[in-house]
Structure 1
Amino acid sequence: MSVAREPVAFEVYDDGVYLHGTKADLAVGELLVPGRESNFEEGRVMNYVYFTATLDAATWGAELAAGAGRGRIYIVEPTGEFEDDPNVTDKRLPGNPTQSFRTREPLRVVGELVDWVGHSPEKVQAMRDGLDALRQRGAAQIED
Structure 2
Amino acid sequence: MTRPFEIHESGGYLHGTKADLAVGDLLVPGRPSNFEDGRVSNHVYVTQTLDAAVWGAELARGEGRGRIYLVEPQGALEDDPNVTDKKLPGNPTRSYRTREPVKVIGEITDWVGHSPEQLQAMRDGLADLQRRGLAVIYD
> What band does the TM-score fall into relative to the shorter chain?
over 0.9
Q: Which moved more, 1:108-117 or 1:89-98?
A: 89-98
Unaligned runs of 5+ in 2: none
> TM-score, normalization: structure 2?
0.98
Per-residue CA deviations over 1:58-106 (Å, capped at 9, x if unaligned) read 0000000001100000000000111000111122111100000000000
Q: Match of 2:107, SS? A: strand
Q: Which amino acid aligns with 1:54?
A: T
1:68 matched to 2:63: yes
Give the aligned length: 139
Q: Match of 1:87, SS? A: helix
Please list every run of at least 4 consecutive aligned residues from structure 1 whose deviation after the TM superposition is greater than 4 angstroms: none
Q: Could you tell me which residue of structure 1 aligns to residue 79 of structure 2?
A: 84
Matches within 5 A, 1:94-109: 94-109=89-104
Give aligned-pair identity as a percent. 71
Residue 141 (structure 1) shift: 1.2
Return the alpha-carbon distance in structure 2 between the equivalents of residues 103 and 16 of structure 1: 18
CA contact (8 A) 1:89 1:96 kept: yes
Return the alpha-carbon distance in structure 1 between the equivalents of residues 39 and 86 of structure 2: 21
Return the alpha-carbon distance in structure 1 between the equivalents of residues 137 and 56 of structure 2: 14
Matches within 5 A, 1:48-59: 48-59=43-54
Q: Could you tell me which residue of structure 2 aligns to residue 45 of structure 1?
A: 40
Q: Which amino acid aligns with 2:66?
A: G
- The match for 2:108 among 95, 100, 113 is 113
Residue 15 (structure 1) shift: 5.6
Residue 14 (structure 1) shift: 2.7
- RMSD over equivalenced CA pairs, Å: 0.8
Per-residue CA deviations over 1:7-41 (Å, capped at 9, x if unaligned) read 10000003630000000000000000000111111
Return the alpha-carbon distance in structure 1 between the equivalents of residues 120 and 112 of structure 2: 16
Q: Could you tell me which residue of structure 2 aligns to residue 19 of structure 1?
A: 14
1:132 matched to 2:96: no
> TM-score, normalization: structure 1?
0.94
Q: Match of 1:12, SS? A: coil
Return the alpha-carbon distance in structure 2 between the equivalents of residues 137 and 130 of structure 1: 11
Q: Could you tell me which residue of structure 1 aligns to residue 23 of structure 2?
A: 28
Return the alpha-carbon distance in structure 1 between the equivalents of residues 10 and 85 of structure 2: 22
